[in-house]
Every structure is written in C-alpha cells, then in structure tokens.
Amino acid sequence: MGEVKKHDTPLMDDLKSGPWPSFVDDIYSYAERHKKQACFDILGQMELSYKNKETHWKHGGIVGVFGYGGGVIGRYSDQQEKFPAIWAFHTVRVNQPAAKWYHTSALRKLCDMWDHRGSGIMNLHGSTGDIILLGTVTEQLEYIFYDLGHQLKMDLGGSGSNLRTPECCMGMSRCEWSCIDTQDIVYELTMAFQDELHRPAFPYKFKIKVSGCPNDCVAAIARADFSVIGTWRDRIKIDQEAVRAYVGGELKPNAGAHSDRDWGPFDIKKEVIDLCPTKCMFWDEGQRKLYINDAECNRCMHCINVMPEALWPGDDRGAVILMGAKAPILEGAQLSTVIIPFMKLEPPYDNLKNLLYKVWDYWMEHGKNRERLGETIQRIGLNRFIVDVLGIKPIPQHVKEPRSNPYIFWKEEEVEGGWTRDVAEFRKRHPA
Amino acid sequence: MDKETLKQKIMEVFQKKASGAGKSKIYLKDLQREIPEANPRDIKNAANELVKEGKLEYFSTGSTVMYGLPGVGMGLEAGMEKPEE
Amino acid sequence: MSERPERPDPIYTQPYDPTLAEKLYNPQKPMENRITDIGPPHYWQFLPPVIQRNYGKWKSHEIIQPGVLKYKAHSGEVVYVVRCGTPRLETTDYVREICEIADKYCDGYVRWTTRNNVEFHVTDEEKLRALLEDLKSRKMPNGAYKFPIGGTGASVTNIVHTQGWIHCHTAAIDASGVVKAIMDELFDYFGSHKLPAQVRLALACCINMCGAVHCSDIAVVGIHRKPPLVEDERLDKVCEIPLVIASCPLGAIKPATVEVAGEKRKSVRVNVDRCMFCGNCYTMCPAMPISDGQGDGLALVVGGKVSNRITPPTFSKVVIPFIPNEPPRWPTAVKWIKKILEIYSQNARKYERVGDWIQRIGWEKFFELTDIPFTWHLIDDYRLAYDTYRTSVHFKFTSHVETVTDFE
C-alpha cells in the first residue's frame, strides 16, 4: 500500500464537532488507520458536493453477480480524475438476519471481509433493512458474493423490480405485545421467495413488512406493498391489581416514557379513558375496577401502552393483512389498506404464501411497468381487487366509509333482464 | 407449454426485437405481452434460467430491471469506463 | 416452524480467508462453486440465551431511565437493554468497537433497531452500570459521543434517513450531514423524556423517499426546482425514449427530432410549465440531469405517524416548501425543525403526537404559533387536492385573516 493522498475538506471537518456521533470523524479515523484512499476520496468528493450543492455520482448502470438481477447498486463518480479510488463505488445489499440481531463473531468476520474487498464504509442498516456495504469496484463483486456464501453464510438482498428484503420489528424476541412471530414469518417468507428476491419478477418493487402489533414499529402500513400487522380479536387481558397500582401512583404510566417532565399525578380518566378512541372503557372509582367493552375496542394500543404492567393483547391472536403502501412517486403517497381483517398465522404460513402468490399472479399480468401494487389497486378499484381478483367477500372493514357518489359500475348479470333492450318495444310504450 | 419451448419463444422475441425495432432491452412485462399463451410466472422462471445460461442478461438504469441480449445495445457499464491508470 | 440453530454458526469463529474466493470463483465457469439463494442467516442463532429462553413469553417492560429498558419475562427473568444512537453511515472500525462492547458485557450479542439505534443486552444491574459508564466514556477524536444513550419514550429518537451525497445520484440534498446537524442541535431531546410524546424524525434526500418519511412527525425531503436538462447529443444513445416519455407522471415529455452538428437525432422536449420536478425522467434517463445547486433544497413536512395509537396512521404535510441547501450545517432547516419541536413541546398535551396536536388546534393555529409563513405552495394542486380544501366554516380567526370590507 503506497502513500495516500489527502484532500482539504474544511466543510466536512465542520461536522466533526458537536455531541452526535460524527461520520466524518469515524471515516477519517478509519482512513488514517487503514491507509484507505477510497475513504479520503469519498470525503473529498463529499466536500465538493458541499461546495457545489450537487451530487457527484453518475447515473449508475446495473452491475451484479452472475444469475442475480439485484442486490448490487452500481455507482460511479463523475470526478474520476480527482478521486480515482472511488471511480466505481458500488453498493452491496446483504440480507439482514430477522429483527437485526447479531453475534459479534459474524459481524467481525463481515467487517474483515469488507476491509479487504471494499471501502470499509457501511450502513447498519439501509431503509429496507439490509446491511449496506458502501463502495467497491465491479471486479470485486463476484468475490464478495463468494465470500458471503462460503465464509459468512449470507446472501444478497433485493433491488430493482424484485421482491425487496422482507423486514420485521423485534417481535417475540423482546416485546410482550407481539401477536405474531414476526421474525419467523419474515424468515419463512424470505426463504420461500428466494427466486423473487434475487431475480426480477414484477412490474416494479414489492416490499413485505411485518409488525407484531398495531404500534407498527417497522412502519409496515406506510412502506410495504404487503403489510402484516399483528392483532387479536378477543378480550384485552387485565390485571386489576396492577391497574390500581397505576391509579395509586405506584407504577409509572407508559413504562416511564414521560419521566423528565412533571405532568402531575397519573389520572386514569384523563390519560386513558378519555383518550380511548372508541370510548369503550370505564373506571369504576367505587369498585376500583377497570371495565373494557371489548366488542367496541378498535385495538389502538393506547391503554396497553400506558399501562404495560396491567393490560395485554388477548389470546386469540393473528394479523391484519393490508396492501398498497408506497412513497409519493408517482401518484402520491399511499398507506396500505385493509384486505384481510384477521388471519391466523401459524408455521409454515401457507395461507400467507398463497395470498402472496395470488396477488403476484394478478399484478404480474395486469400491473403496468413501474406501477406499484397500490397503484394497480387504485386503477382497477379496491372493490374489483378484493372481489374479482382475490375472491374475498367485501365487508365494511375494507373502507372508512361507503362511497358518496352513486356512479356504480353495475355488472350486466346483476341487472334483471340484462342490458339488451328492444328500441321498438321501448317506443311502443313511449312514442318519440 | 414446456420449458424448453418457452425458452425458445423468449429468445425469438428478443431476436425479433433486436433486428426489427432495434430495441435491445425489454421488460418482463413486455415479454409476457409477446407470449400471452404462457403463464407470467413461467415466463419469469424461463427468462431467469436463460440468464443463468448466459443467453440473456439483466439491464437496469436503477429502476425496473430489463432483459437484453448480451452484447447488443447499451452495455452494462455504458459510459462508465475506468480512467487510465 | 423453521429449524432453530441454538448457537451462532461455528463458521463465524473461523478467521476470514481473503484468498478463498479467488480459489473458488472461475470466471470461465461462473456456476462452479456458486452458492445461491441461501437467504439470510437464521435469526435464532443470534439471540442471546436469555432471549431464546423467554421468546414470546415476555410479561412487561419499563424504561428505567432514558435509553435504558428493563424487560420482565413470565419466568421471572429480566433483561436490561441500553439503546444508543449511531450515525448509520459508519466504518467497520466503528462496528468493531460495538463488537468489542458486546463481547465485554453481552456475551457477543447485539441488536439494531429500525431507527438505526444499536442495543446492548445485559442481565444484571452491576453489568448495566459498568456498561453505561463505558458507553458514556467513549468519544470520537473531536469530542462527539460515539454511543449516545437515549431514543426511548417521549424523546426525539434517531433519524431514519437515506444516502444523500455520499452515494446517491438523484439526491437533492445530503443526508448524513443534515442528520448530524439536526441531531447535534436536538441532542438533549434524544437523551431525555421531556416531550409530550415520542417525535419521529426522518430525512429523504429526494422525493423517491427511500424511507418512511411521508409518515413522520417532522421530516426533511430533498426537492428539485429546475426542470431536467436535455442532452440531445447523448440522449438517444443512453436512453430508451419511449420509457422516458412514459416515465413522466404529467405527460410533460414529448419525443422530438433535433439537429446536432448537422445530423438529425432523436431526442425529447420537456414542457416546463407542466414539470413538477419529480426527477422520475432522470431515473429512467441519464441524459436528463435534474440536480442544480441553486434549484435544489429541502422541504419540511410535519404531522405524520405510522402508529395506530389513539388516531390512525397519517401522512405528513408540507409546511415549508423550500429551504436552500446550506452546507455544512443547514442552519435554516435546523432552526425551523427546532422551533416546530419546541412550540409543539410547549403546547401539546401528554400523549399527543405532533399531528394529533395540530389536528386539535387546527393548521391555522399551527402556522400562527410557529410563525411559518403560509404561501400558495402549501395549497395542494396535485391528485386528490380537493380533499384538503376547507369545506366548512369551522376555522379559527388567526392573524392570517384580514377582514374584507371593500373588494375591487
């Protein structure tokens, strides 16, 4: 390794100060220790971007490994003479273990590989959940892939019009509210759909995210074409003793989330009963007992969040399946909408896989290029998607409210006598 | 339709597109439109196998992935030549 | 259920062999020794034994101080979790330092959250205290904390963000630098529980929005404001023209034949009056660059959320349509974010998210309280715009309303 060339980066250097961890300090420390030109060059190019207020990356072509249509994002500098060590600076997406738990033996080995084959810069994690390895050249890609497969038992994640790497919240590994085994579901789906993940299959990207409860910590409803959100349909479990402890001030509301401000003593009426969106709760001061009319509950989680020592989701657990979320490009942002209000999810989750196949079969045939599932549903109508495509019975849970216009696309078979009419007969009754 | 016939049909679509309209890259969707008698998922599987065999290659400018004939039209790293050392 | 490997795969304790791949991969026979479609490592092997034992059997949790959670299992076992912010953009040395800490206190187990925090798990209070002291003592060469503790409860937790100028070709703004500037300024809110509810911040460096920015309490979105350039001499060589035309959501791109150096060439023309600067054409065509140092900057959106708690998930709304790029610290953007956060903090009720607070007081009050100027840009004119118009006489009289007497 020869001498490294350093660049003058006063603007980047400004980001070394302040209390929040500084990526500039980190990258420079690493660059010095490992004598990595790519790290000096990347900060050099960042400095130029800070000066010009424009990105200096070229529009990347696809690069990848043999037989895969995703997992690597090609990236090339438009300042190749100034920063030759980052002339190519491709990203490798590596499929993360479910809920992002690691053992250091695996992480260290991954780091050793990345020191050797790439810039040493990474993201833990990318927006979709993958481990992101930032910065390598085309010639290294196959070797990285072989290292991942042979030495790390890891595989690439999704990109392009593939299934994107499925992601989940921490689920049952630590959370008492998780109504479904989010990690196992994500693992099972990821393994079942390896082909869809690695090779282009669809009109556009397709994301699956799984949250264990309606708090939705992985933002499934906002980000995933296919959102699985755990819920329950029986009664909220209550420990009345613990409720009294909250009321009596012995337990801290909301697990202590408000500890640095004096909000006054806990007031169950004001903080729980009155904030319940369905007003289905009652605190009997005389009996010192909490009543919940579970049939009216919409499972928003507020009361459970406020009193985690006293309330839990019920035992009849499953998931709501929603579909169609996406970012604003192009028709505007969409949240996922309810398709199946309650689905039992037990391994090997064949019901979930069958539903996905049904959706994909339709979308692959009828979706337009670069059209997300949510846009396809919009185009054909949610009613048609539910009834004609999925064969599901339409129910009020599918909508916030029924339509306000009566412009209904009646089907001919629904109308007595059909649409074929005789003009002559009509005119006999109604002379022109 | 058996897989080998389907693969052959796919290759014919590519050759026709490349020689006629001069279109060197096509989407999976367009491929499915050209072979309406086959199931979309079968087409996907066959096209991906052709890539594995080296008869087709993937192409993308960062969005939806396309398929192309190796060496025809824009290359994978068009305009991305490595500077002289 | 998938088979659960009890311990981390022994392959991870074998040292990395930098020469192995060269021996295995043969460019002439690319299928030789190729391992494909093995998927991610099984999650179970990476769960600490205490987590494995109590998986799905947790009873409750408590935040014993900002950044420190205590989980209790039905079995009676307890696990303490320390949550720390990370820059997300980091080197292998930084990750190795996390490994060193995890080895020292946590038997080598460690976890990341969806919002780029790292979490360390211990089972006794003695170790917890030592771990906290250790984490607080670790500083970067210029004084920044390496592992700030916080991000729990009614705090500003770590910012979900995209790549920005470190890696993206469509970025209108940087990401990591803006995040650093914001978190430096809001640092106290990360490590404390003094807000009315949790505040989720996010940043997307262009409107492709690789993160869930559009449902955040406060988010930064990079935007372009100049129509794309059209490189006639290059376009037909590097772009599929029909795809470029189809990419425009407003049909503003039309095919054109142009003369370049006396030669007829196929290209496109952009109807600039219809351009909404989304950059979708550039995604499809490298010969239509859209970035511009003067044109680009950021918008601030507020009031969104993903949780179903009390109120349904909601989109964030644009409150500041444009703030120019001001590297390295984006002071105007940071100033407004802090102002919105503090006005919210002073005015919202306990448990009220930013959007819930605004719904209660009304957007007109929000603009009055924050002094954010309301301009025509904030009135929607894209799809479903009508849904945002005021179709009632329910509004509050704020300083915005001028009594009309004469109207010429």
The backbone torsions φ and ψ at residue A342, rounded to the nearest 5 degrees and listed phi first, read -155, 120
pLDDT of residue B64: 75
Contact A21 C192 (CB under 8 A): no
Which candidate from A63, A88, A368 shows the least CB-CB separation from B76?
A: A63
Q: What gap in Å lies between CA C315 and CA C307, rounded to an integer?
A: 11
Q: What gap in Å lies between CA A368 and CA A371, rounded to an integer?
A: 5
C-alpha distances out from residue A365 to A217, A376, A378, B33, Å: 33, 11, 16, 9
CA quadruple A81, A83, A85, A88: dihedral sign: negative
pLDDT of residue B63: 67
When scoring C29, C36, C240 by the number of chain B Cβ atoms within 10 A, the one with the most, hence best to mutate, is C240
Contact A193, A183 (CB under 8 A): no
Residue (of C154, C159, C199) closest to C176 by Cα position: C159
Query: What single-letter amino acid sits at B3?
Result: K
pLDDT of residue B84: 42
Residues of A in contact with B27 (CB under 8 A): 203, 369
Q: What kind and span of H or E run contains C124?
A: none
Residues of C in contact with B79 (CB under 8 A): 238, 286
**C238 reaches B (C-beta below 8 A):** yes
pLDDT of residue B21: 61
pLDDT of residue B82: 46
- Which spans in C285-376 are helix H? 331-347, 354-361, 363-370
Number of residues that make up chain C? 408
C-alpha distances out from residue C328 to A201, A230, C201, Å: 41, 42, 19
Which candidate from B23, B54, B78 shows the least CB-CB separation from C238?
A: B78
CB atoms within 10 A of CB A168: 32
Residues of A in contact with C90 (CB under 8 A): 23, 26, 121-124
Contact B27 A195 (CB under 8 A): no
Q: What kind and span of H or E run contains C1?
A: none
The b/e string for C159-183 (b: 16+ C-beta within 10 A; e otherwise) is bbbbbbbbbbbbbbbbbbbbbbbbb
For tokens 């120019």, what's the residue?
Answer: C324
User: What's the pTM?
Assistant: 0.95
Distance of CA A116 to the CA centre of its chain: 31
**B26 reaches A (C-beta below 8 A):** no
Residues of B in contact with C231 (CB under 8 A): none
Residues of B in contact with A162 (CB under 8 A): 65
Beta-strand (E) ranges in A49-192? 72-73, 91-94, 101-103, 121-124, 131-134, 167-168
Q: What kind and span of H or E run contains C396?
A: none
**C31 reaches B (C-beta below 8 A):** yes
List, for chain A, all residue ranges whose pLDDT scores fall below the cut of 50. none
pLDDT in tens, C81-114: 999 999 999 999 999 999 999 999 999 999 999 9
pLDDT in tens, C130-182: 999 999 999 999 999 999 999 999 999 999 999 999 999 999 999 999 999 99
Q: Can you read off the two tokens belonging to residue A344? A: 């039992």
Q: What gap in Å lies between CA A243 and CA A320, rounded to an integer?
A: 28
Note the ipTM here.
0.96
Q: Which of helix, strand or coil describes residue A238?
A: strand
pLDDT in tens, A348-391: 999 999 999 999 999 999 998 889 999 999 999 999 999 999 99
**CA atoms within a 13 Å half-sphere pointing along the CA-CB vector of C299:** 19
pLDDT in tens, C264-311: 999 999 999 999 999 999 988 999 999 999 999 999 999 999 999 999
Helix axes C125-137, C92-105, angle to 10 degrees: 150
**CA atoms within a 13 Å half-sphere pointing along the CA-CB vector of B75:** 6
Beta bridge partners of A343: A319
Dmax (CA) for chain B in angstroms is 52
Q: What kind and span of H or E run contains C235?
A: helix C232-238
The b/e string for A416-426 (b: 16+ C-beta within 10 A; e otherwise) is eeeeeeeeeee
Q: Determine the distance in angstroms separating the CA of C94 from the nearest CA of chain A, rounded to an integer.
A: 7
C-alpha distances out from residue C133 to C50, C105, C315, Å: 23, 12, 40
Q: What gap in Å lies between CA A25 and CA A16, rounded to an integer?
A: 5
Tell the burial category of C393 from Cβ atoms under 10 Å away from its Cβ (0-12, 13-18, 19+).
exposed
**A358 reaches B (C-beta below 8 A):** no
Q: What kind and span of H or E run contains C80?
A: strand C78-85
The b/e string for A23-48 (b: 16+ C-beta within 10 A; e otherwise) is bbbbbbbbbeebebbbbbbbbbbbbb
Beta-strand (E) ranges in C137-295? 160-161, 201-204, 218-223, 253-260, 263-270
Pairing state between β C78-85 and C68-73? antiparallel
Contact C270, C227 (CB under 8 A): yes
Contact A81 B83 (CB under 8 A): yes
**Region of residue A101 (left: phi > 0; alpha: psi -120 to 50; beta: else):** beta
Q: Determine the distance in angstroms separating the CA of B6 from the nearest CA of chain C, rounded to an integer.
A: 23
Q: Determine the distance in angstroms separating the CA of B62 from the nearest CA of chain C, rounded to an integer.
A: 7
Contact C285 B74 (CB under 8 A): no
Residue (of A32, A68, A62, A50) closest to A155 by Cα position: A68
Instruction: Please work out, in degrees rounded to the nearest 5, the angle formed at the alpha carbon of residue C272 by the alpha carbons of C267 and C273.
Output: 145
pLDDT at residue C14 greater than cutoff 50: yes
Contact C87 A115 (CB under 8 A): no
Q: Residue C161: which residues within 8 A CB-CB, separation 6 or more?
A: C88, C116, C175, C176, C178, C179, C202, C203, C204, C205, C211
Residue (of C188, C348, C84, C339) closest to A260 by Cα position: C188
pLDDT at residue C9 greater than cutoff 50: yes
C-proximal residues of A, 106-165, CB under 8 Å: 106-109, 111-116, 120-129, 134-135, 142-144, 146-147, 149-155
Residues of B in contact with A59 (CB under 8 A): 61-62
| Domain boundaries of chain B, sorted by first residue | 3-72
Contact C187 A309 (CB under 8 A): no
B24: confidence class by pLDDT, cuts 50, 70, 90: confident
pLDDT of residue B22: 62
pLDDT at residue B61 greater than cutoff 70: no
pLDDT in tens, C223-240: 999 999 999 999 988 888
Contact B33, B24 (CB under 8 A): no
Helix axes C331-347, C176-185, angle to 10 degrees: 40
pLDDT of residue B75: 54
Residues of A in contact with C113 (CB under 8 A): 100, 170
Residues of C in contact with A56 (CB under 8 A): 165
For tokens 């909220």, what's the residue?
Answer: A236
Residues of C in contact with B54 (CB under 8 A): 30
Q: What gap in Å lies between CA C90 and CA A124, rounded to an integer?
A: 8
CB atoms within 10 A of CB C348: 20
CB atoms within 10 A of CB A409: 7
Q: Which of helix, strand or coil describes residue C367?
A: helix
**A329 reaches C (C-beta below 8 A):** yes
**C240 reaches B (C-beta below 8 A):** yes
Q: What gap in Å lies between CA A151 and CA C33, rounded to an integer?
A: 13
pLDDT in tens, C188-220: 999 999 999 999 999 999 988 776 689 999 999
pLDDT of residue A327: 85
pLDDT in tens, C340-374: 999 999 999 999 999 999 999 999 999 999 999 99
Nearest residue of chain B to residue C237 (CA atoms): B74
Q: Determine the distance in angstroms separating the CA of A58 from the nearest CA of chain B, rounded to an integer.
A: 9
Q: Residue B27: which residues within 8 A CB-CB, separation 6 or more?
A: A203, A369, B64, B66, B67
CA quadruple A354, A389, A364, A334: dihedral sign: negative
Q: Determine the distance in angstroms separating the CA of C283 from the nearest CA of chain B, rounded to an integer.
A: 7
- Chain B residues in contact with chain C using a Cβ-Cβ cutoff of 8 Å: 23, 25, 52, 54, 61-63, 74, 78-79
Query: What single-letter amino acid sits at C164?
Result: G
Contact C142, A16 (CB under 8 A): yes
Question: Domain B3-72, what fold?
Answer: Arc Repressor Mutant, subunit A (1.10.10)
Q: Residue C177: which residues within 8 A CB-CB, separation 6 or more?
A: A12, A15, A46, A50, C164, C165, C327, C328, C329, C330
Q: Can you read off the two tokens belonging to residue A189? A: 């789906």
Q: What gap in Å lies between CA B3 and CA B1, rounded to an integer?
A: 7
Q: Which of helix, strand or coil describes residue A197?
A: helix
The b/e string for C67-83 (b: 16+ C-beta within 10 A; e otherwise) is bbbbbbbeeebbbbbbb
Calculated CA dihedral for residues C43, C49, C51, C53, nearest 10 degrees: 110
- Please tell me what DSSP assigns to residue B61: S
B-proximal residues of A, 33-72, CB under 8 Å: 58-64, 66-67, 69-70
Mean pLDDT of B48-54: 90
Q: What gap in Å lies between CA A296 and CA A280, rounded to an integer?
A: 6
Residues of B in contact with C31 (CB under 8 A): 52
